[in-house]
A and B are shown apart, each in its own frame.
Chain A
Amino acid sequence: MRQLLKKMRFAKTNSGLLALLLALGAFGAGFIAYLILDRAFFVKKKVPAAYEYPIEQLAVIDPGLIVCRQVGSPIETGLQRASAVDVDAQGILYAAGDEKILVFSSSGRKEKEIILPAMPTALKTAEGLLYTALTERIELYSPQGEQLAVWANIPAALLTSIAVGREDVFAADALHKVVRRFDKQGNPLGLIGQKDAERGIEGFVVPSPYFDILIAPDGLLRVVNPGRQRVEAYTFDGHLEWHWGSPSMGIEGFCGCCNPVALAMLPDGTFVTAEKGLVRVKLYDDEGNLLGVVAGPRQLGWQAPIRVCEGPQDCQVRGLDVAADPQGRIYVLEQVRNTILVFEKIQ
């Protein structure tokens, strides 16, 4: 009996210790259960280098190659979806998008809006007229916004660029992968760029809706062949004369699957090219030699290879459009922020 009382006293005096031991045991059991049940605990935390694609490294451009500087602040177009930019001989700037054409003064002040019946997909100013493509057709406007002509619809076409010559008008059709030739009244005269082994024409490859053309002072048409990463020179009759350009992530070539996306020409005959993806605007001579970089990814606001988008519309691939004025200034329409950046050569 005495021993029992002694034991009870011992238990009473050490109840705190026992409680502590019990608590520690429960905690230990809980921790072990957590480790067993929560499999995330064992998950590897570091992403191996083999799973990463370090595109950021490719975005770095040797500063010594940059031959242009940005002039002034970017021109905010206010458009939700800007599609094209062009500039006339007087330096008046035009931006197309959101079912309208915006007219800016040479200082970048918005002067006028021309309302269109549909989303414009291309814009060209020539001979005091505005030629705009509305997916399947071309419409002509006066600078005051008066509609002058509507050319016939081309079924299932996607007209992404217009070039205007003395007697001809050309339109690049990204869906049919051809350049369409018209007279000044809009009558079709023929197609350029269809596959023709005898004439050595491999055909245009246009994986995304970027297919640009221009008429050079030498009287030849320059057509971007984005899927083959080159620029091709054609006569108005459709003879392929030569081509230049090569695929490369390096600065000397055109990066990705389908570049360049836009083409312009400076008064001295230098070509301005724009690339989407790893956005770059560069200068080339007519044999495809790189003359310098207008702006690289960092100058054009590129931040990451993939953007977090609000939805499908926001996430559509957006590129660049370029235009050049008679003074040699280069206008870059950046289609993510819908702004126009102006560059000029560093003297």
Chain B
Amino acid sequence: MEHQPSEFFSRRQFLKDGVWTVSAALGGAASALLAARSRRQGWLWQIDPYKCIACGRCATHCVLTESAVKCVHAFALCGYCDLCTGYFGPEPKALDTGAEHQLCPTGAIRRRFIEEPYFEFTIDESRCIGCGKCVVGCSAFGNGSLFLQVRQDRCLNCNECSIARVCPSRAFVRVPADQPYLLKDAAS
């Protein structure tokens, strides 16, 4: 008796479907694996910028010699002011880059002319010690575009953060490792 292939399910079709199914499953598994691996696990320390009062303790209480906390700048919030109160001390004699006029104790803020009368301010992280002096000046008088963040590439993620222990406004919080920063933005 001659074997007749099924009208609906031939061996060729079965193999073809099987290859597709296995390929799709492998592809899905690989994607899931990649996604899972790219998602860092655990919790990290971070500063809630809306609770931080820039008391200066981030500079002195980190276990690292040079604090893991650095100033960051939300450009979308910045007024690009000539008289930037995060850059200049209380009574600058001139609005220039003279060290004697600057508020930052380490000269970590760079001032660059954009167009009259606007200037751009950027943070030199290699100089920033996270004291937050500029944050006080910017928040007290300006738009609050300068704020402090724990730089995760520097932070040792101590189980009990020594800065969090002394933070007077309880601004130190735990954040998921896949959302390591709490940034200010213009929309807020």
A residues neighboring B (CB under 8 Å): 39-40, 43-48, 50-53, 55, 58, 202, 205, 207-208, 227-229, 247-250, 255-259, 276-278, 304-315, 317
A164 to chain B, nearest CB (A): 29
CB neighbours (8 Å) of A308 from chain B are 50-51, 53, 169, 171
Which label, helix, strand, loop or mixed, suits the secondary structure of the B interface?
loop
B32 at the interface (CB under 8 A from A): no
A153 to chain B, nearest CB (A): 22
Which label, helix, strand, loop or mixed, suits the secondary structure of the A interface?
loop
- In chain B, positions 21-66 with a C-beta closer than 8 Å to chain A are 50-57, 59-63
B79 at the interface (CB under 8 A from A): yes
Check B79 against A306 for contact (C-beta < 8 Å).
Answer: no
B residues neighboring A (CB under 8 Å): 50-57, 59-63, 79-85, 90-91, 103, 105, 117, 129, 131-133, 135-137, 139-144, 158, 160, 162, 165, 169, 171, 184, 188
Closest to B81 in A: A257
Check A52 against B133 for contact (C-beta < 8 Å).
Answer: yes
In the bound complex, what is the Cα–Cα distance between A256 and B85 (angstroms)? 6
B81 to chain A, nearest CB (A): 4
Check A305 against B140 for contact (C-beta < 8 Å).
Answer: yes
In the bound complex, what is the Cα–Cα distance between A277 and B140 (angstroms)? 5
In the bound complex, what is the Cα–Cα distance between A250 and B57 (angstroms)? 28
CB neighbours (8 Å) of B103 from chain A are 53
Identify the 7 closest CB pairs spanning chains A and B, nearest first: A207-B79, A256-B141, A312-B188, A305-B140, A51-B131, A40-B162, A277-B141
Name the contact of A43 in the complex, choosing from B60, B90, B188 (C-beta under 8 A).
B60
A306 and B81 contact, Cβ closer than 8 Å, known pairs A40-B63, A313-B188:
no
Closest to A228 in B: B117
A258-B79, A258-B142, A276-B141 provided; 17 other pairs, C-beta below 8 A?
A: A40-B63, A40-B162, A43-B63, A45-B60, A48-B60, A51-B129, A51-B133, A208-B143, A248-B91, A257-B81, A257-B141, A258-B81, A277-B85, A305-B139, A306-B53, A306-B139, A306-B140
